[in-house]
Structure 1
Amino acid sequence: MNKFSIVTRIGIALSAMVALTILTLLASYWLSEKADHDALAINVAGSLRYQAYQYSWHVMHSPEQAPAVAQALQDSWNHSVFNRFEHEQSELTALYQNTQADWLAFQQRVEQGVIPANNLMVEIQPQIDQINTFVSAIQQDAEQRIRSIRSIQVLSLFTSIGLAFVIFYWLRTRVRYPLEVLTQAARRIGQGDFTARVKHPMKDELGVLASTLNKMNEAIGFMYGNLEKRVDEQTRAIQQSNVRLQFLYDTARMIIEHSPGYHDFTEIVNGLKVASEVDDIELCLITEAGNKPYLQVQPVGAPEDPCEGVDCSQCVNAGGGVSVQDGQRIYRFTIEREDHNYGVVVARCPVSEQISDWQQQLIQSVADQLAVALSLKQEEEQVRRLALIQERTVIARELHDSLAQALSYLKIQVTRLNKAIEKDNREVIEDVAEELKEGLNAAYRQLRELLTTFRLKVDGAGLLHALQTTIRQFSEQSDIAFRLDYQLESTPLVPHEEIHLLQIIREACQNAIHHSQGSDVVVQLSQDAENGIHLSIEDNGVGIPENAEKLNHYGLAIMQERSRHLGGTIRIERRKQGGTGVYFEFTPQYILERQSEPYPA
């Protein structure tokens, strides 16, 4: 392990604390163990004085018991508490041995009678003093041991305190302060400040951690800087993509909402300049058979015509691709759909530069959308032409089926009138005059009805609103009460179905006003379980004549013609309860389209 390791230093500090504690305990235990028998030694040594006086008394007054007392005294001198003096060399041991030897010599002299009994108390006094000295020495030795234990404990206490202060100072300067610095650096890094650095001179774990943190901070700062740069680049790219997508969306919406005109093309070219970041861009539109643009659009603020003095046919007929001309790189994007060329979008840049792939894709997408718009505009114009032709055909058929027949009838009556005039036949002349009057009235009425029919339309409010308007007009024009029962709110009808239904209803209601002589007309539109449309117009009048189909002013032929256009069947018949009923049935177009779709395998 590294000698500078924090773990090693903490281990050494803890080991020193444990070692100091163990040494203090061992020393205290050793001194206390030696002092454990000091009290007994003092007691036994003190009993020697009593036994010495007792021995002297028995020698003087009861000699027969003196040997027993002398033996007890000898046993006290040989007590086990004094065994330690046999194995150690000290002043106390020498004092013990001298005191014991002097007593044994004194006792031998007494037993030999060298010391008379009357002088025994005087001779024993030095022995008693020597024993007292020995007892005091034992007591002092015990006190010395106690003082040593106290000194060891006090020394251990101050040593522990000093060692604790050293360890605390080391932890504060070598651990706590570096950890605070590391923590502050970590917080700054967490707040996004990657400039924080940690200085730690030691080669321990905190030094390694500080060095690693500095390296990591540098790496993260570098990566974060690159990441911010990449995020900014991606943000700009996304913003540019959003501008391009918004431009394409606006262009597509403009094309869907209406056919683009000159101002729309100018707006598209201006938007394309901003979205594609190509300044020199141009839109040229040509006709199918032309070789020169009929419309040339440039962005606002563009310089003079770059194509001045250049043969336009070479450019518009060259197709898509890239060419270099007059120091410029020219990109051509054809506006083409279904093998029909509508024009070209031209983008120019210096020869030293190139238009990137995404710019080419954007310009080509706009060219494709313009091709779709021009194609839809052409198809719309064609549809309008066809609608105009169809409407003229309808007008011609209406005139032929109504007013032309009435005029033919009047022409026949005029021929009769000429012949009657030649023959001067007053009866025939009056009859023909009446027929001419009625025919002219009928022709005038049919003309008005035709004009009303030609002006008839179904606007954005739908068939129901047109029917309500028609019913209200008929109610105001006559005394008949018209009622409408409309049950096709959930049925989608195409425009020509609505027009034919409305005209059939108007024709039948006109017939009811002029010929039914009734007071009530009910118009009902419904759909059966098989999705067929049912129309019924019923009145409570006199009923239709049996030969009504021969009378052209009833408009029956017109209703038959309109029913055939819708692929349905129409019946006009007398009602059993009185009046006339017009009944029409057909299958709507959305049902026919559904039935014509092939079933999935």
Structure 2
Amino acid sequence: MLKRCLSPLTLVNQVALIVLLSTAIGLAGMAVSGWLVQGVQGSAHAINKAGSLRMQSYRLLAAVPLSEKDKPLIKEMEQTAFSAELTRAAERDGQLAQLQGLQDYWRNELIPALMRAQNRETVSADVSQFVAGLDQLVSGFDRTTEMRIETVVLVHRVMAVFMALLLVFTIIWLRARLLQPWRQLLAMASAVSHRDFTQRANISGRNEMAMLGTALNNMSAELAESYAVLEQRVQEKTAGLEHKNQILSFLWQANRRLHSRAPLCERLSPVLNGLQNLTLLRDIELRVYDTDDEENHQEFTCQPDMTCDDKGCQLCPRGVLPVGDRGTTLKWRLADSHTQYGILLATLPQGRHLSHDQQQLVDTLVEQLTATLALDRHQERQQQLIVMEERATIARELHDSIAQSLSCMKMQVSCLQMQGDALPESSRELLSQIRNELNASWAQLRELLTTFRLQLTEPWITSGAGGELRRVQRQIWLPGEAELSIAASSGAFASGNPLVANCP
């Protein structure tokens, strides 16, 4: 309880205290004024009673000599002189001794004198003396009344001064404790509504306004921190979305470029450069296998070489230094469920890691590269098969033409041989030799037709052509082993390039 009493007053308690103080001052002034006014009212009644005694004294003087019919006047005057109201007024105003003296004079001297007097002159002096005492009593009542009225005026003035001082104090207190802090809080609230969290309320004390200012300061600081965190998150999200947009744009452009009809180097170089710009990977190298053999491959890098300068190719960036061995080598296989098309190699600097988006970018690009290489290889096979079919068609047509010519020649030789002895011996021998050559040519022509009727059952043309070559060897009994030379590109099957070579 003591601690609570000694603790600082709250604003509500301070306002209540000011109201109570002003009320107490007003009540005190009214109480003092009421008490003084009651005294003034009692003095007025006493003055009236004294005036009544004066009139009654003159009436008794006029009635001298007194008779039995004048006794009521004496009794009335005695009641007035000894009334309790007059006694209380005299006691309150300090005139009790003088009143008692008048009462004794009335009872002991004036009444006996009036009762004995036969004329007015004998008691006129006594009545005048009694009236003079009454006048002094009334004068005492008047002085007391005037003093009380002056006291009331003084009390009112003092109360007015106190009320004025209290009013000035209240105005100063309200301005210092309520108005100025309230303005600071309103200014701070307006600043917060405009997203300005730099303003602070400087309110001293430990009242409600100070607590509210401290709470607003803390709230503004927390809001500023929250807004800073949110702005940072928005910037991070925006940067992430921009990066993802770049990744999607790169994948779309890469997909369109990879499925174009440009040469493979012109398609792959911009894609590898874009991948190097969007990720942390360096020294990116793409190896494309010509067959399933990893030793026979083509290399595509982001580093230009002498061949690029000779061709005038400017697709690869200039002035980019390789990372060297300061990093980790990463590998991605370009393969599907049946065939391995190549491998993607890259160097990741030490202490760095690919983000989730970058890893997805690389995986998606690897799938696109695999699909592109698979489509290119499928188109290459289709072109090779078309060339083989065209060559077989040409061979069959040529076989038919030569076969007709050989058949015609055999018929002509047969006709000549049917002449028998009409021909000389040398001619018959020559015709026999021609017929043997025609038969040999016919047999070789049939074997050649069989050779061109290849049956490619293997997935890759090299294996299929090798199997067919072994079948031809068994049919024509070729000694030793034949060598197969088929180029990797479709240009090797152009007109004039032999399919089977180095046959002994």
**TM-score, scaled relative to structure 2:** 0.64
Who is 2:435 aligned against? none
Give the whole-Å Cα distance in 1 for the aligned partners of 2:48 and 2:237.
101
User: Offset of 1:297 from its aligned partner?
Assistant: 4.0
Task: Give the Cα–Cα distance (whole angstroms) in 1 for the partners of residues 155 and 63 of structure 2.
Answer: 49
1:366 matched to 2:365:
yes
Matched, 1:16 2:21: yes
SS at match of 1:338: coil
Q: Is the 8 A contact 2:22 2:163 kept in 1?
A: yes
1:425-459 CA distance string (max 9 Å, x none): xxxxxxxxxxxxxxxxxxxxxxxxxxxxxxxxxxx
1:55 shift after superposition: 0.5
Amino acid at match of 1:329: T
Q: Which residue of 2 aligns with 1:78?
A: 82
Q: CA deviation at 1:162?
A: 0.7
Indicate which of 23, 32, 41 corresponds to 2:46: 41
Structure 1's 252 and 25: CA in aligned 2 closer, same or farther, altered over 3 A? Answer: farther
Displacement after TM superposition at 1:102 (Å): 2.2
Which ranges in structure 2 are unaligned for 5 or more consecutive residues? 304-315, 393-504
| 1:138 paired residue number | 141
Using the TM superposition, give the Cα deviation of residue 228 of structure 1 relative to its aligned residue in structure 2, in angstroms. 3.6
Shift of residue 157 of structure 1? 1.9
Partner of 1:330: helix, strand, or coil?
strand
Aligned to 2:414: none
Displacement of 1:19 in angstroms is: 1.2
Residue matched to 1:456: none
Q: Give the conservation status (yes or no) of the 8 Å contact 2:8–2:206.
A: no
Q: AA paired with 1:301? A: P
Deviation at 1:271, TM superposition (A): 1.8
* Structure 1 residue 212: Cα displacement: 3.9
Deviations 1:213-238 (A, max 9, x none): 44444444444444444443333233
CA drift of 1:53 comes to 0.5
Which residue of 1 is the match for residue 403 of structure 2?
none
Structure 1 pair 304–51 and aligned structure 2 pair: CA distance change class (3 A): closer
Structure 1: stretches of 5+ with no match in the other structure: 307-323, 394-601
Deviation at 1:296, TM superposition (A): 1.5
Cα deviations by residue, 1:270-291 (Å, 9 ceiling, x for unpaired):
2212222434222232223453
Q: Count residues with an aligned counterpart.
A: 376
1:190 shift after superposition: 4.1
Q: Distance in 2 between matches of 1:328 and 1:49?
A: 134
C-alpha distance in 2, partners of 1:229/1:238?
A: 14
In structure 2, distance between residues paired with 1:391 and 1:79: 161
For 1:275-286, list aligned pairs within 5 A. 275-286=278-289
The equivalences for 1:335-414 within 5 A come to: 335-351=334-350, 353-379=352-378
Aligned twin of 1:124: 127
Matches within 5 A, 1:550-569: none
Aligned pairs (5 A) from 1:175-194 = 175-194=178-197
Greater RCO (CA < 8 Å, at least 6 residues apart): 2
- CA 1:73–1:264 in structure 2 vs 1: closer, same or farther (change >3 Å)? same
2:63 alignment partner, SS class: helix
Over the aligned positions, Cα root-mean-square deviation in angstroms equals 3.8
SS of the residue 1:199 aligns to: coil
Match of 1:50 in 2: 55
Q: Which amino acid aligns with 2:139?
A: S
1:74–1:337 Cα change, 3 Å: same
Secondary structure in structure 1 of the residue aligned to 2:122: helix
- Decide which structure has greater helix share: 2
Q: 2-side partners of 1:42 and 1:377: how far apart?
A: 138
> Aligned residues: percent identity?
23
Contact 2:93-2:141 within 8 A present in 1 as well? no
| Partner AA of 2:289 in structure 1 | I
Mapped partners of 2:116, 2:178: distance in 1: 85
Cα distance in 2 for residues equivalent to 1:257 and 1:18: 98
State the SS of the aligned residue for 2:203.
coil
More strand by share: 1
Report matched runs for 1:313-332 at 5 Å.
326-332=325-331
Alpha-carbon distance in 2 for matches of 1:169, 1:283: 85
**Do structure 1's residue 232 and structure 2's residue 232 form an aligned pair?**
no
Q: How far does residue 114 in structure 1 lie from its aligned partner after superposition?
A: 6.8
SS in 1 for 2:348: strand
> Given that residues 200 and 206 in structure 1 are in contact (C-alpha distance below 8 angstroms), is that contact kept between their aligned partners in structure 2?
yes
Change (3 A) 1:302 1:332: farther
- Once the two structures are TM-superposed, the CA of residue 245 in structure 1 deviates from its matched residue by 2.1
The one-character-per-residue Cα deviations of 1:131-187 (angstroms, maximum 9, x if unpaired) are 122233333433433333333223222211111111211221233223333333444
Output the CA distance in 1 between the equivalents of 2:165 and 2:348: 85
Match of 2:152 in 1: 149
Distance change >3 Å, CA 260–CA 127, structure 1 → 2: farther
Change (3 A) 1:371 1:151: same
Given the superposition, is the C-alpha separation of residues 90 and 145 from structure 1 closer, same or farther in structure 2, using an over 3 Å criterion? closer
Judge conservation of contact 2:288–2:342 (CA < 8 Å) in 1: yes
Q: C-alpha distance in 2, partners of 1:304/1:143?
A: 115
Q: Aligned to 1:294, what secondary structure does the other structure show?
A: strand
C-alpha distance in 1, partners of 2:277/2:169? 75
Q: Provide the C-alpha distance between the structure 2 equivalents of 1:32 and 1:254, rounded to a whole number of angstroms.
A: 113
Aligned partners of 2:387, 2:161: CA distance in 1, in Å? 120
Please state if 1:292 is matched with 2:291. no
Structure 1 residues 305, 286: closer, same or farther in 2, change over 3 A? farther
The reply to whether residue 301 of structure 1 matches residue 317 of structure 2 is: yes
The change in CA–CA distance for 1:305 and 1:118 in structure 2 (over 3 A counts) is: closer
Contact (CA 8 Å) 2:285, 2:299: kept in 1 or not? no
